[in-house]
Amino acid sequence: MNNSGYIAKIRAMKKDARYSMNRSIDAAIKEMLIAFDEPSQRRMKKAIRDAGNAVLKHQNENTDAGARHKFREFIPAYLLNLNGYSLQYDFEIEAKTPDWIDMKFRLMMESLTFERGRTSPFRSRVYSGVAEKCSKYSAIADHHYLSIVIAVYLDFLSGVDFEDCYEGRDSFRPLFIQYERLAGILFFTEQHSSFQIGGQPYEFRCLTAGDRLVDQPNWPIHTFDIGKESKR
């Protein structure tokens, strides 16, 4: 899509109803939507509106966290689709709906949030979350020869950064041993970067094992092997 077409779609979407009361988030959602096919856009719009309605109805931290998570699960998929992927949102496969799936590049992506205000340690929370996602989807990944990536948003108020992820990489090694389809644990957060959505910069890092991302030729994210550092 050329730049003028991209800008025209953004302007057209801005005429739609708002997806968030936060202007920056609303602008970011509209910016991201056009990177996805029409069925995904419809499901994404419904998901973000449902989350917003839940916030207005219940007005508690759980619904606030749920709405934040819905917005953030779009971010890594948007980055990948800008780099040639065709990730689809909530695509049903074998009666389940993973967050994202790309049948061309044989990639499935699920999302987690390392949220503020919890008491359990970072590594154990991420470990259990990744294990839960892999357990749920490994059989489907095997059937369809899909690589699994778990995207983990690091809440900037949690105090956890990329250095913590890298230093803790050995603790995630058993996950790659147990789940052969696990190709990467992708961490992302708000941080100074040339990549921006709605004016907000985001940075990304990924942990992998050996050559598990070798079949992803358009992979745009700085990636570390759990055994040795390797920039792809």
pLDDT tens figures, 28-38: 999 999 999 99
* 215 closest CA partner among 73, 102, 114, 113: 102
pLDDT given at position 15 = 56
From the number of C-beta atoms within 10 Å of its C-beta (0-12, 13-18, 19+), residue 116 rates as middle
CA distance linking residue 92 with residue 130, whole number of Å: 20
Q: Once rounded to an integer, what is the mean pLDDT over residues 50-61?
A: 70
Could you tell me the residue ranges of all domains in the chain? 3-225
* Residue scoring higher pLDDT (149 or 12): 149
Tokens for 65? 């966290």
Judged by average pLDDT, the poorest of 68-72, 167-171, 227-231 is 227-231
Let me know: does 193 contact 202? Beta carbons within 8 Å: yes
| C-alpha to C-alpha distances, 56 to 16, 20, 60, 157, nearest whole angstrom | 20, 11, 9, 23
CA distance linking residue 60 with residue 143, whole number of Å: 40
Q: What is the pTM of this model?
A: 0.86
